[in-house]
Amino acid sequence: MAKTIVVYGSSTGTCESIAQTIGEKLGAEVIEVTNLTAGQLEAADNILLGTSTWGAGDMQDDWYDGVATVKSVDLSGKKVAIFGCGDSASYSDTFCGGMKEVYDAAVEAGATVVGAVSTEGYEFDDSDAVVDGKFVGLALDDVNEDDKTADRIDAWLPTLGF
Ligand SMILES: Cc1cc2nc3c(=O)[nH]c(=O)nc-3n(C[C@H](O)[C@H](O)[C@H](O)COP(=O)(O)O)c2cc1C
């Protein structure tokens, strides 16, 4: 059976809670990014990487070491999906931008990145996490749209092919 892991970085618990929800739905191991090892990535077939966004469109602090770990591994042949949480009202110019740095690390590591999401249904001005007209992964706004989070997760997970 394919092994799936969910790795997250979270400062105030929002992305952590989303990671736990996703982990339960997939029956996947959930790993806080500060505990992530190269061996855990190597042992997985499918990998979800989740980050909240801080500063001005930056990934969550703990991910700075985490992306180094991701880049140190050959992820070719593995599927990676990105998810993020942010605040599209207060940070409309950098909504969920932190996902882009995590995405770039996965691409650099040779992963097949799946799970791009249409920007339809979101209200924001700009985001580095939009590539070729789509979010590089699942953008969530639990600050203003927590009523949409469960449906967005349920619509997204089956698209990943995990
Ligand atoms: C100082 C500060 C900066 C933030 N910057 C952004 C940002 O640039 N883009 C964004 O979408 N959200 C931004 N946010 C919102 C957080 O990403 C959001 O509150 C998120 O749910 C936090 O998740 P966490 O508890 O998992 O870290 C910011 C929040 C704070 C307090």
Please give the chain's pLDDT, 162 residues, in tens. Answer: 799 999 999 999 999 999 999 999 999 999 999 999 999 999 999 999 999 999 999 999 999 999 999 999 999 999 999 999 999 999 999 999 999 999 999 999 999 999 999 999 999 999 999 999 999 999 999 999 999 999 999 999 999 999
- Which of left, alpha, beta for 117 (phi over 0: left; psi -120 to 50: alpha)? beta
Taking CA atoms, 71 is separated from 15, 47, 77, 109, 159, in Å, by 22, 14, 15, 5, 25
- Ligand 1 atom nearest residue 18's Cα: 26
- Ligand 1 atom nearest residue 95's Cα: 11
The model's pTM is 0.98
Q: Judge contact between 50 and 7, C-beta under 8 A.
A: yes
Is residue 63 lining ligand 1, measured as CB closer than 6 Å? no
Is residue 129 lining ligand 1, measured as CB closer than 6 Å? no
Q: Judge contact between 41 and 75, C-beta under 8 A.
A: yes
Residue 99: closest CA among 49, 65, 55: 49
Ligand 1 centre to CA of 57 (Å) is 8
d(CA 135, CA 146): 18
Is residue 33 lining ligand 1, measured as CB closer than 6 Å? no
